[in-house]
């Protein structure tokens, strides 16, 4: 339970608010590389602000506020050129650093051009996504987390959720929900809707634990039949502060990304890498991306897949859940830890420090701790993951299952 003021502070994303300033210290995915290859400029909304994201013919990426500094027409309809982007209205040209390079209707001898600058962010490509940083310069390093750089078959499902991102993140430090939402509830819906629920999610939690570490919070659990020697406890998996969760198991590595688009919109992305040993991975000239469904034809939440169940709970909590009337129990200590971490890091930013997970020395690959044997369920987890998770909506779902089955066969042989 929080006071209304604390809930308000925790859920802000706007510039000038403590949480908004904290969130502006990080990089976020704002477009698919594929989309900018198909058309070189795209609109993007991030932390309540609108931007144009573009890729020049020379291969440089840029992000500028959508409104042209001249008379505020949209640069998301701009003309992308070798040096930057030109406003469609009067042709003002801006470089990727926001410098105004040309004002065609102004006289050559004026210095007006040097007095106008777009408040540019920094953009870069990694792992099939275009990332942006819109905070104070110099920008920190774009974290090259393992899933974004490792070999394997990539697959990105996504959805835009009408709720604040913090309630999505609180789910990431709430292990107990798994056995209920993805266990008992899944079985209940399966009985009524006539499908098979996976068995791997319903195991009772005997113990949960949380440790703060360099990138966020490691979540651990012991499920019935397992022990502290098993991966779920010994290794666990991390909430990657402030807006990601790294999960995996049975040769599927995944980053669950929750981008705060604005205060009541979260872009949920499931960035998966299927990397079973013992097979050759097919080439992927482009990483496939696909939208996952939120609702059925009757307007009810789709709850016949794992992430659809999570999404149902996040959205039904309300656009900004009212934490003044919640009732947390001891099993919610991970949630209290995360809120405290947000607040600690808001304080760090207010003191002028870099918050958790912001770093400035290049690292080629950042490996995150993540269990391999999920819920003590062995190789069957990979097939459950595809058939009963969001990957079932992937255009390459069948190919992914075959990849894992073939790899299992090869490993046995």
Provide the edge-to-edge strand list for the sheet that holds 84-86. Answer: 79-81, 84-86, 93-95, 100-102
Shortest separation between residue 328's beta carbon and other proteins, angstroms: 4
Would you say 110 or 347 has its CB closer to other proteins?
347
Which run of H or E residues covers position 336? Answer: helix 333-350
Shortest separation between residue 381's beta carbon and other proteins, angstroms: 31
Tokens standing for residue 100: 């105004």
Q: Say whether the peptide bond before residue 242 is cis (omega within 30 degrees of 0).
A: yes
The answer to whether residue 343 forms part of the interface with other proteins (CB under 8 A) is yes
Maximum CA extent, the chain? 79
Shortest separation between residue 403's beta carbon and other proteins, angstroms: 44
Q: Report whether 265 contacts 159 (CB < 8 A).
A: no
Shortest separation between residue 13's beta carbon and other proteins, angstroms: 13
How many angstroms separate the Cα of 197 from the Cα of each of 174, 202, 343, 385?
A: 21, 10, 39, 11
> Which residue among 58, 192, 327, 412 contacts other proteins (CB under 8 A)?
327
- What gap in Å lies between CA 36 and CA 130, rounded to an integer? 9
> Which residue among 278, 328, 353, 378 contacts other proteins (CB under 8 A)?
328
Q: Which stretch binds other proteins (CB under 8 A): 44-52, 184-192, 335-343, 386-394?
A: 335-343
The answer to whether residue 235 forms part of the interface with other proteins (CB under 8 A) is no
Tokens standing for residue 139: 């920008």
Residues 346-385 that bind other proteins (CB under 8 A): 346-347, 350
Query: Which one-letter DSSP state was computed for residue 283?
Result: P
Shortest separation between residue 355's beta carbon and other proteins, angstroms: 13
The answer to whether residue 387 forms part of the interface with other proteins (CB under 8 A) is no
- What gap in Å lies between CA 233 and CA 228, rounded to an integer? 5
Q: How many residues line the site for other proteins (CB under 8 A)?
A: 32
The answer to whether residue 339 forms part of the interface with other proteins (CB under 8 A) is yes
The answer to whether residue 329 forms part of the interface with other proteins (CB under 8 A) is yes
The answer to whether residue 16 forms part of the interface with other proteins (CB under 8 A) is no
The answer to whether residue 325 forms part of the interface with other proteins (CB under 8 A) is yes
Convert residues 291-320 into a mask of x (bound to other proteins by CB under 8 A) and - (unbound).
---------------------------x-x
CA angle 347/352/356 to nearest 5° reads 60
> Which residue among 3, 110, 193, 291 contacts other proteins (CB under 8 A)?
3
Would you say 2 or 150 has its CB closer to other proteins?
2
Q: Which stretch binds other proteins (CB under 8 A): 1-9, 36-44, 219-227, 400-408?
A: 1-9
State whether residue 85 is helix, strand or coil: strand
Would you say 19 or 303 has its CB closer to other proteins?
19
Burial of 111 (0-12, 13-18, 19+ CB in 10 A): exposed
The answer to whether residue 101 forms part of the interface with other proteins (CB under 8 A) is no
Would you say 10 or 270 has its CB closer to other proteins?
10
Contacts 24+ apart (CB under 8 A), 243-248: 243/23, 243/26, 243/28, 243/165, 243/169, 244/145, 244/216, 245/169, 245/172, 246/145, 246/147, 246/368, 246/370, 247/370, 248/370, 248/371, 248/372, 248/374
The answer to whether residue 192 forms part of the interface with other proteins (CB under 8 A) is no
In the complex, the residues that contact other proteins under the rule CB under 8 A are 1-9, 11, 318, 320-322, 324-325, 327-330, 332-333, 335-337, 339-340, 343-344, 346-347, 350
């Amino acid at each position: 339970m929080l006071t209304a003021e604390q809930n308000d502070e925790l859920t802000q994303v706007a510039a000038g608010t403590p949480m908004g300033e904290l969130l502006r210290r990080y990089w976020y995915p704002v477009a698919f590389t594929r989309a900018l290859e198909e058309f070189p400029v795209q609109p993007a909304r991030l932390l309540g602000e609108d931007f144009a994201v573009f890729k020049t013919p020379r291969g440089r990426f840029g992000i500028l506020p959508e409104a042209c500094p001249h008379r505020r027409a949209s640069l998301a309809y701009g003309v992308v050129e070798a040096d930057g982007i030109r406003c469609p209205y009067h042709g003002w040209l801006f470089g990727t650093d926001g410098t105004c390079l040309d004002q065609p209707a102004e006289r050559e001898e004026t210095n007006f051009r040097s007095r106008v600058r777009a408040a540019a962010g920094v953009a870069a490509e990694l792992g099939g996504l275009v990332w942006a940083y819109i905070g104070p310069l110099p920008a920190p390093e774009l974290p090259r987390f393992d899933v974004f750089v490792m070999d394997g078959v990539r697959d990105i499902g996504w959805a835009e959720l009408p709720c604040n991102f913090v309630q999505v993140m609180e789910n990431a430090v709430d292990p107990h929900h798994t056995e209920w939402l993805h266990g008992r509830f899944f079985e209940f819906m399966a009985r009524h809707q006539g499908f098979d629920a996976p068995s791997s999610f319903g195991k009772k939690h005997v113990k949960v634990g949380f440790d703060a570490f360099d990138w966020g919070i490691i979540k651990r659990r012991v499920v019935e039949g397992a022990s502290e020697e098993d991966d779920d406890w010994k290794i666990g998996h991390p909430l990657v502060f402030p807006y990601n969760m790294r999960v995996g198991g049975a040769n599927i590595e995944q980053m669950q990304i929750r981008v705060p688009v604005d205060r009541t919109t979260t872009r949920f992305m499931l960035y998966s890498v299927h990397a079973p040993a013992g097979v050759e991975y097919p080439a992927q000239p482009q990483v496939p991306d696909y939208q996952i469904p939120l609702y059925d034809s009757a307007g009810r939440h789709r709850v016949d897949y794992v992430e659809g169940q999570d999404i149902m709970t996040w959205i039904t909590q309300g656009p900004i859940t009212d934490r003044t009337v919640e009732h947390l129990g001891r099993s919610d200590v991970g949630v209290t830890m995360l809120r405290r971490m947000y607040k600690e890091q808001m304080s760090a930013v207010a003191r002028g420090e870099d918050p958790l997970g912001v770093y400035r020395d290049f690292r080629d690959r950042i490996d995150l701790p993540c269990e391999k044997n999920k819920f003590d369920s062995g190789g069957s987890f990979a097939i459950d993951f595809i058939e009963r998770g969001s990957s079932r909506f992937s255009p390459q779902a069948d190919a992914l299952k075959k990849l894992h089955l073939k790899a299992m066969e090869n490993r046995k042989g």
